Amino acid sequence: MFDDVVPDWPSLGTNQVAALPEGSKVIAMWSGSNGPHEYVVHRESGRIYARSQSDLAAGVLDREKVLTFVSRVWLPKA
Protein backbone atom coordinates (compact mmCIF):
# COMPACT_ATOMS: atom_id res chain seq x y z
CA MET A 1 0.00 0.00 0.00
CA PHE A 2 1.05 3.58 -0.59
CA ASP A 3 2.77 5.20 2.40
CA ASP A 4 1.86 8.93 1.95
CA VAL A 5 5.32 9.98 0.72
CA VAL A 6 5.59 12.34 -2.25
CA PRO A 7 6.67 10.23 -5.25
CA ASP A 8 10.17 10.87 -6.56
CA TRP A 9 9.13 10.43 -10.22
CA PRO A 10 7.48 13.05 -12.48
CA SER A 11 3.78 13.76 -12.04
CA LEU A 12 1.37 13.37 -14.97
CA GLY A 13 0.64 16.26 -17.30
CA THR A 14 -2.86 17.71 -17.76
CA ASN A 15 -3.50 15.71 -20.96
CA GLN A 16 -2.33 12.50 -19.29
CA VAL A 17 -4.69 13.05 -16.34
CA ALA A 18 -7.55 13.81 -18.76
CA ALA A 19 -6.89 10.48 -20.52
CA LEU A 20 -7.00 8.31 -17.39
CA PRO A 21 -9.67 5.62 -17.68
CA GLU A 22 -12.33 4.92 -15.04
CA GLY A 23 -10.92 2.75 -12.26
CA SER A 24 -7.26 3.76 -12.68
CA LYS A 25 -5.28 3.84 -9.45
CA VAL A 26 -3.49 7.14 -8.91
CA ILE A 27 -1.61 9.05 -6.25
CA ALA A 28 -2.82 12.63 -5.84
CA MET A 29 -1.70 15.66 -3.87
CA TRP A 30 -4.02 18.66 -3.76
CA SER A 31 -3.09 22.33 -3.71
CA GLY A 32 -2.07 23.32 -0.22
CA SER A 33 0.01 20.11 0.01
CA ASN A 34 -2.91 17.95 1.19
CA GLY A 35 -1.69 14.42 0.61
CA PRO A 36 -0.41 12.59 -1.26
CA HIS A 37 -2.90 9.74 -0.98
CA GLU A 38 -3.92 6.83 -3.18
CA TYR A 39 -7.22 7.11 -5.06
CA VAL A 40 -9.25 5.46 -7.79
CA VAL A 41 -10.33 7.52 -10.82
CA HIS A 42 -14.06 8.07 -11.32
CA ARG A 43 -15.49 9.91 -14.35
CA GLU A 44 -18.85 11.68 -14.18
CA SER A 45 -20.40 14.54 -16.18
CA GLY A 46 -17.11 15.34 -17.93
CA ARG A 47 -15.14 15.61 -14.68
CA ILE A 48 -12.48 13.32 -13.29
CA TYR A 49 -12.80 12.58 -9.57
CA ALA A 50 -10.49 10.82 -7.11
CA ARG A 51 -12.22 8.31 -4.81
CA SER A 52 -10.51 6.90 -1.73
CA GLN A 53 -10.94 3.28 -0.69
CA SER A 54 -13.21 4.43 2.15
CA ASP A 55 -15.33 6.44 -0.34
CA LEU A 56 -15.64 3.34 -2.53
CA ALA A 57 -16.58 1.12 0.43
CA ALA A 58 -19.24 3.61 1.57
CA GLY A 59 -20.52 4.19 -1.97
CA VAL A 60 -19.96 7.96 -1.78
CA LEU A 61 -18.41 10.51 -4.12
CA ASP A 62 -16.66 13.55 -2.62
CA ARG A 63 -17.23 16.12 -5.38
CA GLU A 64 -14.43 18.31 -3.98
CA LYS A 65 -11.82 15.73 -5.05
CA VAL A 66 -11.65 16.75 -8.71
CA LEU A 67 -8.37 15.97 -10.48
CA THR A 68 -7.49 19.34 -12.03
CA PHE A 69 -4.51 21.53 -12.81
CA VAL A 70 -4.27 22.43 -9.10
CA SER A 71 -3.57 18.83 -8.13
CA ARG A 72 -0.48 16.78 -8.78
CA VAL A 73 -1.18 13.24 -9.97
CA TRP A 74 1.10 10.22 -10.36
CA LEU A 75 0.56 6.64 -11.43
CA PRO A 76 1.73 4.21 -8.74
CA LYS A 77 4.87 2.26 -9.56
CA ALA A 78 4.10 -1.22 -10.83
Residue 1, pLDDT above cutoff 60: no
Residue 6: its pLDDT value, please?
87
Q: How far apart are CA 76 and CA 39, in angstroms?
A: 10
Residue 61: its pLDDT value, please?
93
Residue 33: its pLDDT value, please?
66
Q: Are 36 and 21 in contact (CB under 8 A)?
A: no
Q: How far apart are CA 40 and CA 71, in angstroms?
A: 15
Report pLDDT digits (tens) over 24-67: 999 999 877 677 889 999 999 989 999 999 999 999 998 988 88
